[in-house]
Amino acid sequence: MQKDNSWEKYTEEEVRRCDEVCKGYMDFLSSAKTERECVERITSDIEKAGYRDLDQIIAAGESLSPGDKVYRINMGKAIILFNIGEEPIENGMNILGAHIDSPRLDVKQNPLYEDGGFAYLDTHYYGGIKKYQWVTMPLALHGVVIRPDGSKVNITIGEKESDPVFFVSDLLPHLAQEQMTKKATEVITGEALDIIIGNRPLKEDKDDDKKDKEKEKDPAGPVKKAIIAILEKEYGIGEEDFVSAELEVVPAGAAREAGLDRSMILSYGQDDRVCAYTSYQAMLEVPEVKRTACCILVDKEEIGSVGATGMESRFFENTVSELLDRMGCYSELALRRCLSASTMLSSDVSSGYDPTYAASFDKKNVSVLGGGMVLNKFTGARGKSGSNDANAEYLAHLRGIFEKENINFQTAELGRVDLGGGGTIAYILALYGMNVIDSGVAVLSMHAPWEATSKADVYETMRGYEAFLKHAERIG
């Protein structure tokens, strides 16, 4: 089946609208590089569109009815949006679900040390990465530090032109004969991904006796001491505060247009913030719905959707229960009926065809940049292990919707059958008995520090999500 190129279909007005959507998306990528930053940005955007905090509604004892728009935040790192439709909610919802975590380096709880005249932060990589890709590039530090009294210090260092950046060093080629004989998985080890954060020693007292006595009390080297002094002066935090911190090391710099034709976007974190952005923007573009619309944006997908802020937690189910209660129709049976009757697009990225590595793909069943929104009937690994395999009836229903709204879409799988695979949150929601399929945007260089997407695919995917929210129905 021939894949159409979206650009060939666009009028000048559609190109203008595509660029407008992608301009907003690039701003989102540049300003929201962690889960917490994503939730803060999304909350700001949706509140301007009339969404209200469900927890505040519960506390006030207010009721909800069709037309109301609410959201609920989970620990600052996940968020769920609802636009209540005209139909009884027991008839099900139309759900978009994406994740807002991305592969990165996490700072450990006892990270600060000195060696060879450098101060380092010890890290532990998060999600599936090629470790050698993270050396010698400018890195930024994002996150929060929570003091014992509960006060919070927000950290963002490395994004402004006036900010310092950090880096992981690499061995010079003149001395790398042994290193270059290693497999790619061993060239850079996880323990070698510590970031260099300083080199200037603290000026110490010249009194040798006094100096020796101070060293007995504090064995830290002079460079580490200098860094501690900066942390205390600039941010009001001490070394012990790393224990209660969440600090993420990410590539420094803003999202950029790519290509002389400016047809692509190059940025960190497009897996899966490209689907998160288009999902919640689709919610804002569809103000009135027949079936209740829902958007789930969760954490921890890159490490198995585990934990209190991942999709496997009960937060989604608990929140739907609270929603039903505020609508005056909660019962365990109503909850189960609502969930099983729902339909979902598990909004996640797919691997874009890369001619440089053509042997890794089945060319007949791979997404291409510019080919439009991607539908993955299944993901998983090898024999579809760990996947949600959508049924034919649901695919036919979606085809009808996209053809009606003139959405350019393509079907794909992740790569050649025996090479491996990947997972999404689709199988978790499918446990409720609802129809679910993976859908999203093709990405080149997925999980690399800088990933590439097509502007046209971003635009078509947002349009596809809007069409789904407006027209999807229960199937089966």
The domain boundary residue, chosen from 251, 286, 313:
251
Residue 145 confidence (pLDDT) above 80: yes
Assign 380 a pLDDT band (cuts: 50, 70, 90).
Answer: confident
| Any domain includes 263 | no
Q: What is the pLDDT of residue 210?
A: 56
- Across the beta sheet with 118-126, what order do the strands follow? 152-157, 139-146, 245-251, 104-115, 118-126, 195-198
421 membership: H or E segment, kind and range? strand 421-422
**What is the value of pTM for the model shown?**
0.95
Going from the C-alpha of 372 to that of each of 196, 336, 405, 408, 441, the distances in angstroms are 41, 34, 13, 5, 8
Assign 201 a pLDDT band (cuts: 50, 70, 90).
Answer: very high
User: What's the rounded Cα separation, in Å, for the pair 368 and 354?
Assistant: 8
Q: Are residues 124 and 94 in the same domain?
A: no
Q: Are residues 180 and 329 in the same domain?
A: no
Q: Are residues 317 and 429 in the same domain?
A: yes
Domain CATH number, residue 421: 3.40.630.10
| Any domain includes 50 | yes
Q: Are residues 453 and 367 in the same domain?
A: yes
User: What's the rounded Cα separation, in Å, for the pair 261 and 232?
Assistant: 47
Assign 297 a pLDDT band (cuts: 50, 70, 90).
Answer: very high
Q: Are residues 82 and 182 in the same domain?
A: no
Residue 160 confidence (pLDDT) above 70: yes
Domain CATH number, residue 109: 2.30.250.10
Q: Are residues 117 and 97 in the same domain?
A: no
Q: Are residues 49 and 196 in the same domain?
A: no
The domain boundary residue, chosen from 218, 251, 284:
251
- Per residue in 54-88, pLDDT (tens digit) is 999 999 999 999 999 999 999 999 999 999 999 99
Worst-scoring range by mean pLDDT, 229-238, 373-382, 412-421, 447-456? Answer: 412-421
Give how many domains the chain has, as a whole number.
Answer: 2
- Per residue in 227-275, pLDDT (tens digit) is 999 999 999 999 999 999 999 999 999 999 999 999 999 999 999 899 9
| Any domain includes 365 | yes
Q: Hey, what amino acid is at 274?
A: V
Domain boundaries, position 165 = 104-251
| Any domain includes 346 | yes
Average predicted confidence (pLDDT) for the chain: 94
